[in-house]
Structure 1
Amino acid sequence: MAVKDRDRFSTATRLRLLGEQTAARVYRSQTKRQARRSRLTGRAALLALVLCSLVVALAYPMRQYVSQRAEIADVRRQKEQARERVEQLRDAKARWQDDAYAEHRIRERLHYVMPGETGYTVVDPSAAGQKRTDRAAADRPWYTNVWEGVDKADRTRR
């Protein structure tokens, strides 16, 4: 026994035991770290997978929502423009209901005169540089200008 006790307390034996214990601690520490790392990596992969699935699942509905909101805004804008146009047309209709306004516009556009009045056409000498079509319209009878206006209005509707 004395040899064993002496061997147990020898420096070489103590160093060898100390090395073995240290190696065992390092090994246990590494396996725990690896186990923790692999668990963390698996959790991270699962979390990434869940997040990617959520993004993919929500991408199309969000795109649809945004496009529908833009479409709604566009329809509202068109509605407002149509309302303004209706108001303008109502105002024009109300003006045309007034006989004085209608008479004024007819006299201006068709060069009508009332019985007993004398109609004059004044040619402006500074208007010599106008387009030929304007001068030609003045040389034609009034009913030609009216039909041309009707044709022009018909072309703009198409």
Structure 2
Amino acid sequence: MGADRERFSTATRLKALGEQAAARVYRAQARKAPRRSRLTGRAALLALVVCSLVVALAYPMRQWVSQRSEIAEQQRQAEQARRAVEKLRDEKARWQDPAYVERQAREHLHFLRPGETGYTVVGGGSYDSRPPQGEGMADRAWYTNLWEGVDRVDARG
């Protein structure tokens, strides 16, 4: 029976110690300050550093983006200028050809070769001085366009 008693007293002691430990934990939890927020000092410092970097890099990034768009625009304009130069070179090469020059002089200036007879129809059978439908200013002789312009200005008074 003595062993039973010792066992019982050890079990009782362990139970009492467990109750005391639980009471201490409960009291310690009750004494603790209300739960702190999850934002610690390190997290606040990290957030401050990240915000500072964002603010510090915002202006240079905006400048970089705008400069990239300006570069793209300049490249587009350079390509257009290259195409225009190529077109002008082609036109210059055509004007170096004597047959082309002669054709242009015959069409636009109504030049004739020696021995040819040129005819110019004035009015075209109609009293109306406007060109027929489909005939633009480029399709008529230069002097027709000139006189038509003088007539229009004279009619305005």
Hey, what's the Cα distance between the residues in 2 that align with 1:31 and 1:39?
16
TM-aligned CA distance change 1:120 to 1:92, over 3 Å: same
TM-score, length-scaled by structure 1: 0.60
2:133 pairs with one of 117, 130, 153 = 130
Higher relative contact order, chain-length normalized (CA < 8 Å, sep 6+): 2
Structure 1 vs Structure 2 CA RMSD = 4.2
Q: 2:25 corresponds to which residue?
A: 25
* Counterpart contact for 1:110–1:146, Cα < 8 Å: no
Q: 1:74 corresponds to which residue?
A: 73
Structure 1: state its 5+ residue gaps. Answer: 1-8, 10-14, 149-158
Q: In the TM superposition, what are the counterparts of 1:4-153 in structure 2 within 5 Å?
A: 21-26=21-26, 27=28, 31=32, 34=35, 37=36, 40-121=39-120, 129-130=132-133, 142-143=142-143, 145=145
TM-score, length-scaled by structure 2: 0.60
How far the C-alpha of 1:47 sits from its partner, in A, is: 1.8
Aligned residues: 129
**1:130 partner letter:** Q
How far the C-alpha of 1:31 sits from its partner, in A, is: 3.5
Hey, what's the Cα distance between the residues in 1 that align with 2:74 and 2:142?
43
Q: Pick the structure with more helix per residue.
A: 1
Q: 1:3-47: per-residue Cα shift (whole Å, max 9, x none)?
A: xxxxxx9xxxxx99876643431325874994xx45743222222
**1:46 partner letter:** L
How far the C-alpha of 1:115 sits from its partner, in A, is: 1.9
